[in-house]
A and B are shown apart, each in its own frame.
Chain A
Amino acid sequence: MMSLVGVMVLALIMGFIINRGVGLLTWDLLIGDYHPTTYNLSLPTTESLGGFARPNDLDESAFFSQMWGLGLMDDVDFEGKAVVRVIYVDAQSPLQMMRDKNNLERVVGLFPGLALEKVIFSDLTIGLSRTKAENFIILFDTHEGINDLLAVSSGNGIRGAIITTGLLIGFALMIALPIGIFSAVYLHEFAPKNNAFIHTMRKMIDTLSGVPSIVYGLMGAAVFIPFTSRISKAEGGNLFSGALTLAVMVLPIIISATIDALRAVPDDYRKASLALGANHTQTTFRIVIKSAVPGIMSAVLLSVGRMIGESAALIYAVGTAIKDHIILTEKSASLAVFIWSVMAGEVPNFELACSVAIIIMMVVLFINVLIKLVARRFALLP
Chain B
Amino acid sequence: MIVKIEPEANRRTQKSKRFIWMKHSDSFMKGLLMVPTLMSASFVIFIVGFISRKGIAPFLPSVYGSERVNAFSFLSGTTWFVPPNVYGILFIVINTLYIVALSTLISVPLSVASALFVTRILPKKLQGVFKSIIELLAAIPSVIYGVFGLGIIAKSVVRLAELFHAQTAGGISTLTTIIVLAIMIYPTITMMSVAAISAVDPALEHHSLALGATKVQTMTKVTLASAKPGIFTGIILGVGRALGEATAVSMVAGNAGSGPSLMLFSTTRTLTSTMLLGLKETSGMDYDIRFSVGLVLIGVIFVSNFILAHFKKKVGRFS
Contact = CB atoms under 8 A, between A and B. Distances in A.
Interface in A217-253: 218-219, 221-223, 225, 236-237, 248, 251-252
Interface of B: 22-23, 25-26, 29-30, 33-34, 36-47, 50-51, 53-54, 109-110, 113-115, 117-118, 122, 130, 132-137, 139-148, 150-152, 183, 186-187, 190, 237, 240-241, 243-247, 251, 272, 275-276, 279, 282, 290-291, 294, 297-298, 301, 305
Interface residues of A, number: 79
B37 A348 contact: no
A287 interface: no
A212 B276 CA distance: 13
A343 B33 contact: no
14 contacts: A6-B137, A9-B186, A16-B151, A201-B38, A202-B41, A210-B301, A211-B44, A212-B301, A236-B282, A279-B23, A309-B142, A360-B141, A360-B144, A361-B140
A336 B146 CA distance: 11
Contact of A311 (B118, B143, B148): B143
A312 B272 contact: yes
B276 A185 contact: no
Contacts of B47: 211, 215-216, 218-219
B282 to A, nearest CB: 5
A7 B186 CA distance: 12
Nearest to A203: B41
Contact of B41 (A17, A204, A214): A204
A190 B276 CA distance: 42
Contacts of A9: 137, 183, 186
Given A9-B137, A368-B135, A214 B244 contact: yes
B36 A182 contact: yes
Contact of B133 (A10, A17, A221): A10
B147 A354 contact: yes
Contacts of B135: 368
B130 A222 contact: no
Contacts of A208: 40, 43-44
The 10 closest A-B pairs by CB, nearest first: A212-B244, A309-B141, A3-B114, A186-B33, A312-B246, A214-B246, A3-B117, A201-B41, A2-B113, A222-B50
B190 A348 contact: no
Contact of B25 (A2, A205, A281, A336): A281
B44 A204 contact: yes
Contacts of A212: 240-241, 243-246, 272, 297, 301
A114 interface: no
A308 B133 CA distance: 19
Contacts of B243: 212
B187 A309 contact: no
A219 B25 contact: no
Contact of A312 (B23, B30, B117, B247): B247
B272 A364 contact: no
A9 B301 CA distance: 27
Interface centre among A185, A208, A316 (most CB of B within 10 A): A316
Contacts of B115: 3
Contact of B33 (A182, A360, A368): A182
Nearest to A358: B144
A210 B282 CA distance: 26
A365 B80 CA distance: 40
B40 A205 contact: yes
